[in-house]
Structure 1
Amino acid sequence: MSNQNKSAEEDNCECFTRASNKPCPPIRNVTHPLRYYEFTQDELKALEECDKESFYQRCLPFSTLFASLTYAAIKFGFTKRDPNFGVVPKVMLSALLGHVYGRLTYIAECDEKLRKKLPGSSHLGRTMQNYYNERNPPPKI
């Protein structure tokens, strides 16, 4: 870092400390180690497969179920319809919630699939396997 940039940062910090009566925050370089990672073709294929399966196996059924139940609840008088827009806002919101719920319930299966399906040369597969092993150590006998 050049002296000019350093002095500018110190001036900003001094101004900050005078205004708030607090010490300067530490300067950190926050760069994620996988920031410039490029996925391999196998990884992209596995991620796309997870995306499709989660949509067709979870999101679509849950969205349909939630929207149908909401419409039935409005039709049979359990909830009121909106005076200006009718049933549309509540049905759309319940379909959106069904979609989100479907994605969330498929995360564990997708995680397992990526850990086991990706080849050993895959950095993503190794990283996910290491993360899983750190959080789920084998039982001690």
Structure 2
Amino acid sequence: MKRILLFLTTAFFAPYAAAYIMCYTCVSTPEDSTCLNDPEKVQIGSPVTNCSMECCTITRLEFIEDGTLSSFSRGCQNDCEKDGIYKYPDSTFLTYKTYCRSPRCNEGDGTEDPDGKGDGSNEIHGIKGKSGGIAVAASFSTLLLFLGLLILP
């Protein structure tokens, strides 16, 4: 009976153990630069999304010729580079692409690392860690294992 209870509990909570990360998700337009300047105040949709992706992102395109902003967006995606900011110039645009893995880390104007480190690490005060969603999933799995050991003979 205890094994059935553990199985049912695990099956019920398993969908919540997926890795999620809170990211700003919005786009600035020539008419509305709220996403660029203050993503918390975006009026259309929710400015923060619970993403089931690997990282938060900022994508900023500037015209090479005069440095004016062409487009700007915040979001989330899989297949991310190491945390930090990357510059990709071509004949027309300079593209800034920012990757980060902590909640709401994709803030700022997209020309500087949001955390200022740019070293790709995920550590706080010298303690290495996992991204928010993965840490939650790992903690949940550990809790289920502990409960299973307590319940099962």
Please identify which structure carries the higher helix content. Answer: 1
Please identify which structure carries the higher strand content. Answer: 2
Greater Rg by CA: 1
Q: With the length of structure 2 as denominator, give the TM-score of the two structures.
A: 0.27
